[in-house]
């Protein structure tokens, strides 16, 4: 497994983003409508990664973007990094792709000075909820455009709980 920082506009990233959007349509009836600007995922304020398997095929994605406290956005705090576009292609599920990219993103966000990882997922993604729970993410006040949705789940993990690689 090879995790590469590629940028939001990379063709492999765009293909997998389209796939995850279709996954949302299957599970929720619509794509994720959260506003996303590609530049938000440019270092040092963010990062977009693609996971490649041993054959060089793209099998997963994950990203983070800097988010700080906003008066009109409950649930966020200065120093937050929001996880976005976590996705593993069906043929690669169950092989640790999501956990590897999650830990990679946590480490990179921490290196960039982010203090907490936050995310919004949903009740119709039980495998995502299980992954985040097993990695120490806890419920927080809902944020984002789905904060009023009963299907929305917002989670966070502080820097002190991150599983950072040892050097």
Percentage above 70 pLDDT, the chain: 95
Percentage above 90 pLDDT, the chain: 87
Q: What is the pLDDT of residue 10?
A: 97
Higher-confidence position of 62 and 162: 62
Distance CA 121, CA 124 (A): 9
Confidence band of 107 (pLDDT split at 50, 70, 90)? very high
What tens digit of pLDDT does each residue of 117-131 get? 999 999 999 999 999
Between strands 152-158 and 138-139, the pairing is antiparallel
Q: What is the average pLDDT across 56-76?
A: 90
> Which stretches of 36-148 are DSSP H helices?
97-111, 126-134
Q: If 0-12 CB within 10 Å is exposed, 13-18 middle and 19+ buried, where does residue 160 land? A: exposed
Architecture in CATH of 2-161: 3-Layer(aba) Sandwich (3.40)
What tens digit of pLDDT does each residue of 26-65 get? 999 999 999 999 999 999 999 999 999 999 999 999 999 9
């Amino acid at each position: 497994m090879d995790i590469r920082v590629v940028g939001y506009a990379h063709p492999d990233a765009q293909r997998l983003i389209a796939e995850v959007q279709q996954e949302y349509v299957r599970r929720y009836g619509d794509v994720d409508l959260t506003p996303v600007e590609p530049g938000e995922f440019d270092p040092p304020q963010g990062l977009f990664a693609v996971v490649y398997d041993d054959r060089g095929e793209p099998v997963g994605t994950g990203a983070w973007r800097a988010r700080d406290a906003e008066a009109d956005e409950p649930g966020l705090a200065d120093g937050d990094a929001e996880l976005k576009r976590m996705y593993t292609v069906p043929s690669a599920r169950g092989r640790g792709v999501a956990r590897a990219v999650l830990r990679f993103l946590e480490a990179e966000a921490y290196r960039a000075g982010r203090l907490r990882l936050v995310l919004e997922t949903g009740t119709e993604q039980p495998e995502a909820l299980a992954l985040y729970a097993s990695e120490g993410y806890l419920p927080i006040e809902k944020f984002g455009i789905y904060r009023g949705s009963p299907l929305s789940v917002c989670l966070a993990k502080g820097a002190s709980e991150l599983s950072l690689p040892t050097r």
